Structure 1
Amino acid sequence: MTKKQYIFTGVGVVVGLIAGYAYYHFVGCASGTCAITSKPINSTLYGGLMGGLLFNMFVTSPKKKENNE
Structure 2
Amino acid sequence: MEKIKQKRLALIFLVLGAIGGFLYWKFVGCTSGTCAIKSVWYWSTLWGAAVGYLIGDFISDIIKKIRTKKEVQQ
Common topology (TM > 0.5): yes
Which runs of 5 or more structure 2 residues have no equivalent in the other structure? none
Structure 1, gaps ≥5 residues long: none
Larger helix proportion, structure 1 or 2?
2
Instruction: Give the alignment's TM-score, normalised by structure 2.
Output: 0.76
Structure 2 counterpart of 1:36: 37
Whose radius of gyration is greater, 1 or 2? 1
Matched residue pairs, number? 66
Question: Where does structure 1 differ by over 6 angstroms across 4 or more consecutive aligned residues?
Answer: none
For the residue of structure 2 that corresponds to 1:35, the secondary structure is: coil
Deviations 1:41-65 (A, max 9, x none): 0000000000111111111346399
The CA RMSD measured in Å over matched residues stands at: 2.4
Larger mean CA deviation between 53-62 and 7-16 belongs to 53-62
